[in-house]
Amino acid sequence: MPNAGRDVHRVQDGGRVLYRRLSLVGESALDPPVPVEYFTLEEMQMWLEFSMISYLKQKGAVFRQRGYDFENMRRIVEKRYHHFDLNVPHAPIF
């Protein structure tokens, strides 16, 4: 599959553009559904990590370097702030 890598990058880039647009202007009932190929485990993990950074910054954390330790960040948001305690019942995603 010579185009597989290019397709992955196209989907990732498209997903990021869509995310930026939706975060700036919001989503309306008239918008088409978000394509399911944007919901890979890798992309969802990446956005979860970005949201943890944002959440911790809102709580007053200061990050002086770019070598983020996501495992420790997750532990802090779980244990100190109980960020992942609410689990709304839902059908299995995968």
Digit-coded pLDDT (tens) for 46-69: 888 888 989 999 999 888 877 888
CB atoms within 10 A of CB 33: 5
Task: Please tell me the pTM assigned to this model.
Answer: 0.56
Residues of the chain with confidence (pLDDT) below 70: 1-11
For residue 3, what pLDDT is reported? Answer: 52
Residue whose token pair is 């969802």: 44
Quick one: residue 51, left, alpha or beta (phi over 0 = left, psi -120 to 50 = alpha)?
Answer: alpha
No. of H helices and E strands in the chain? Answer: 3, 0
